[in-house]
Structure 1
Amino acid sequence: MPYYHSYFGPEATRPPLPAHRRPPEASGLSANLYARVARRYCLPTFNLGTAFISGVRSPIVERVARTTPFWKLISFDRLAPDPDIAAPGVLVLPPYAGHCPTLVRDTVAAFLPGHAVHVAGWEDARRVPLSSGAFGFGEAAEAVIEMVSQIGTPVHVVAVTEAGVIGIAAATLLGKRNRPLASLTLIGGPVDCHTDPAGLAAEATARGLDWFMRAAIAPVPPPFEGAYREVFPGFFALTGFLTRSLDRSSVDHKELFLELVRGDGDGADGHRGFFEEFLAVMDVPAELVLQWIEAVLIDRPFAPDLGRAFRSNASPLLATTPLMTVEAECDAFGGGGQTHAAHRMTSAPQDGCRHTEGGAGRFALFSGARWRASVFPRVADFIASHASPPARPHLGKVEDLLTLSGLTPALAARLNREGVYFVHQLARLDDAAANDLDRRLGTVAHPLAAQLGREARFRLDDGGRS
């Protein structure tokens, strides 16, 4: 793989040239792609300094609760104005397929107002020394179990796209060990690829695992800490290698990005920032990617290998775990029932919570206005209904922002960006918080927040009957 060495080898460690000495911008699709990747690195933090909690803009402190060579547990401490209000614990599993964990920044931001949020910070394999050993699918599932133990309180796991099957494996093992998760939510990850409309699973079966080892795996070059470790290079994530086509040679990364965010409801400014995040990639241990391909694409449908100790147990894999699945209608790799198939692992396949977001691409399921306004409220309601004790009853009309007088979808989206998703959040606004919200919304001349707060309190007191 000469392009890996060209862009991530010794050249990547040299200090940048002054602007007047830089060569002209690379031209052509491949050159432009690799040039972008070479100049972009993972962001160290999520940069989420505040959140709108109980009607007050409150500080958020990001800290690393635990560190290992292959992962770290990132916790977001909320300095809530009312610490006695229950905040269900949520562990977000970002996709581990080439993008940095900060890709789920919008996911985390939505959960912060009402949840104690933790994130699995997968490490860039390029920076993990070979002496740290291997990190395959089983190690990833055990890592999630260790994170759940570290958190201590009941944990609701939200697994995003390719991390879905890692979440299933961890939830299954925890259930067998009598330590079940509070709930599991799968967002857009393939579980059963028999319905794969893009035919990627059939193509992967035809090519075989040996082809992937030759075409998608490379050793990390010196002088990186992980020199000589076999990895799946992060820039393959930008070419749609596991998203749209197994032939990476002709995929335009920008066209791929626009397809993935289709229908997310964000404008050009929102896309511009997220596209920069999309370009921040990292390497993944080869053993994890190859085992994922074999378990999900080739040996479909997915079933976690529980080891000899659990094989005699005939109970469903997710018998003790409440399950919610979310799919995008326009996601060729994770839609069409591929994620909803996980309900067959539960005690009652016909039950459970399923949601298909119409007209959306896969990134719209966890980022952008569509995520904030449509998907997140449903996921938050599912988590609340399985909290102990339940945080609130199932989402009804009384909690829908759009039932408030004069509240348009555009204004609701602006409230979402300020961390307001439910009527009960507006009902908690005092005068100072309402004034601050009006300032952020740009409605100081015609105060809106206080009016919405009064109507929200009336709706809740009235029980939604009017």
Structure 2
Amino acid sequence: MPFYQFYEFNHAVLAPWRAIAEATRLNFTHAFNPLSETPLGRSVAAAAELFERTTRRYGKPEFGLSETTIGGKKIAVKERIVWQKPFCSLLHFSRDLPKSRSADPTLIIVAPMSGHYATLLRGTVEAMLPDHEVFVTDWTDARMVPLADGHFDLDDYVDTITDILHHVGPGAHIMAVCQPSVPVLAAVALMAQDEDPDTPASMTLMGGPIDTRINPTAVNDLAQKKGTDWFADNVIMKVPFPHPGFMRSVYPGFLQLTGFMSMNLDRHVLAHRDLFRHLVEGDGDSADKHREFYDEYLAVMDLSAEFYLQTVDKVFVRHLLPKGKMTHRGRKVRPQAITKTALLTVEGEHDDISGIGQTQAAHKLCSGLADTMKAHHLQENVGHYGVFNGSRFKAEIAPRIARFIRQHAG
């Protein structure tokens, strides 16, 4: 039996047991059950919740950003889709601002297409909302895209970025978080080569693999050691029935999640042990924080095989962009043609995904930019996730990006 089908079968087999576990949890947490406030009752409820959470499939989360604070006042925010194709939707977080307020810079945040949903950037969007008109790419789970809608590769990704910039219009600013740094830089370079009027005013690249030969991490070493053919033979599978993308070749989300968790397995085991302890002790706040984090972290999506394999090959194995050999539909990508799009790169001191210097390498490639249009920020005491989320992002990185955007707006 193919591995993806076996995974689906296993999920289906466990469904009744998940239902029993949930019923058990509800029974032993019910106010009318005298055991609910005893160590025994709380232990049974905690064990049932752990079983249910570790065997369920987590659905796509919501952004849930209904308001922001501007000038000390709460401002309503409405999320809506303003542009859409089979593999991507563009979300606009529209703020209910007074007409007298001057327009804020338009910011397009390109979320990574690397396993997690765009909602992983909820904190990023929340931090940028007060001072920007924010748009976010919302990539589609490949298993939900029918074969009739065609394929999606790295060239299509670059085209998607270009189409979005055309839709939003001139004067926009673009931010690439991690994986999209390479296709975003390629898209901006191609637009600069064409003297496209919709070329963005600024480009922020955050923790991205521009040149993974610099301070290679374990992820980079794995790609070099295994090579593209190994990944094609071992992680690419067909979407099983009855998903809409039946028979589409994908890199399954559950395999990606296995890779994510194996990098810090001891940390995840301890986190779930702590959840059990918090539930038994009645520490609801700590349990809620665990649920909030893992409801997001464990929600994963499939990637189209052609996009994933081309990214491995061109970015992590052959390093085509920093070598000056990257092409888009047969046309050479020339970052040195960028002369009007200001460049900010952001890296984390303890990033174990994109090593220090890998993103900053974009400065050398964009040799046509004046030094006054380039800036780099190395954030101390943060890992990969902290580059775009968390307290230091909100307190130090986001204000730095906002200042850079204002400096190069219009």
1:44-193 mapped onto 2 (5 Å cutoff): 45-179=62-196, 180-193=199-212
1:51-450 mapped onto 2 (5 Å cutoff): 51-179=68-196, 180-240=199-259, 251=265, 254=268, 272-300=291-319, 302-303=321-322, 304-310=326-332, 316-346=336-366, 347-348=368-369, 352-388=374-410
Alignment match, 1:40: 58
Q: Is the 8 A contact 1:40 1:280 kept in 2?
A: yes
CA separation of 1:105 and 1:252: change in aligned 2, threshold 3 A: same
Deviates more, 1:145-154 or 1:375-384: 145-154
> In 1, Cα distance between the equivalents of 2:262 and 2:371?
30
Q: CA deviation at 1:253?
A: 7.4
Q: CA deviation at 1:306?
A: 3.5
Q: Is the 8 A contact 1:231 1:286 kept in 2?
A: yes
Which amino acid is the alignment partner of residue 162 of structure 1? Q
CA separation of 1:309 and 1:165: change in aligned 2, threshold 3 A: closer
In structure 2, the gaps of 5 or more residues are 26-49, 273-284
> In 1, Cα distance between the equivalents of 2:135 and 2:148?
28
Q: How many residues align?
A: 366
> In 2, Cα distance between the equivalents of 1:33 and 1:194?
42
> In 2, Cα distance between the equivalents of 1:24 and 1:4?
30
> In 1, Cα distance between the equivalents of 2:114 and 2:292?
20
Which amino acid is the alignment partner of residue 209 of structure 2? P
Q: Is the 8 A contact 2:81 2:90 kept in 1?
A: yes
Which amino acid is the alignment partner of residue 381 of structure 2? G
Q: Secondary structure at the residue paired with 1:59?
A: strand
Which amino acid is the alignment partner of residue 294 of structure 1? D
CA separation of 1:128 and 1:357: change in aligned 2, threshold 3 A: same
Which amino acid is the alignment partner of residue 361 of structure 1? G
Q: Secondary structure at the residue paired with 1:73?
A: strand
Q: Is the 8 A contact 2:216 2:354 kept in 1?
A: no
Which amino acid is the alignment partner of residue 60 of structure 2? C
CA separation of 1:16 and 1:226: change in aligned 2, threshold 3 A: farther
Q: Is the 8 A contact 1:40 1:279 kept in 2?
A: yes
Which amino acid is the alignment partner of residue 386 of structure 2? A
TM-score, normalised to structure 2, is 0.80
Q: CA deviation at 1:378?
A: 0.4
> In 2, Cα distance between the equivalents of 1:36 and 1:317?
49
Q: CA deviation at 1:62?
A: 0.5
Q: Is the 8 A contact 1:50 1:59 kept in 2?
A: yes
Q: Is the 8 A contact 2:201 2:340 kept in 1?
A: no
CA separation of 1:148 and 1:229: change in aligned 2, threshold 3 A: same
* Residue 20 of structure 1 pairs with residue 20 of structure 2: yes
Q: Is the 8 A contact 1:317 1:345 kept in 2?
A: no
In structure 1, the gaps of 5 or more residues are 26-31, 259-266, 389-466
Which amino acid is the alignment partner of residue 329 of structure 1? E
CA separation of 1:113 and 1:255: change in aligned 2, threshold 3 A: farther
TM-score, normalised to structure 1, is 0.71
Q: CA deviation at 1:198?
A: 2.5
Q: CA deviation at 1:211?
A: 0.3
Give the root-mean-square deviation of aligned CA atoms. Answer: 3.2
CA separation of 1:15 and 1:198: change in aligned 2, threshold 3 A: closer
CA separation of 1:178 and 1:339: change in aligned 2, threshold 3 A: same
Q: Secondary structure at the residue paired with 1:77?
A: strand
CA separation of 1:37 and 1:59: change in aligned 2, threshold 3 A: farther
Q: CA deviation at 1:36?
A: 3.6
CA separation of 1:170 and 1:211: change in aligned 2, threshold 3 A: same
Q: Is the 8 A contact 2:11 2:55 kept in 1?
A: no
Q: CA deviation at 1:284?
A: 0.7
> In 1, Cα distance between the equivalents of 2:14 and 2:173?
43
Q: Report the structure, 1 or 2, having the larger helix content.
A: 2
CA separation of 1:237 and 1:21: change in aligned 2, threshold 3 A: closer
Q: Secondary structure at the residue paired with 1:194?
A: coil
> In 2, Cα distance between the equivalents of 1:22 and 1:270?
20
> In 1, Cα distance between the equivalents of 2:155 and 2:342?
22
> In 2, Cα distance between the equivalents of 1:228 and 1:210?
20
> In 1, Cα distance between the equivalents of 2:289 and 2:401?
22
Deviates more, 1:11-20 or 1:330-339: 11-20
Which amino acid is the alignment partner of residue 201 of structure 1? N
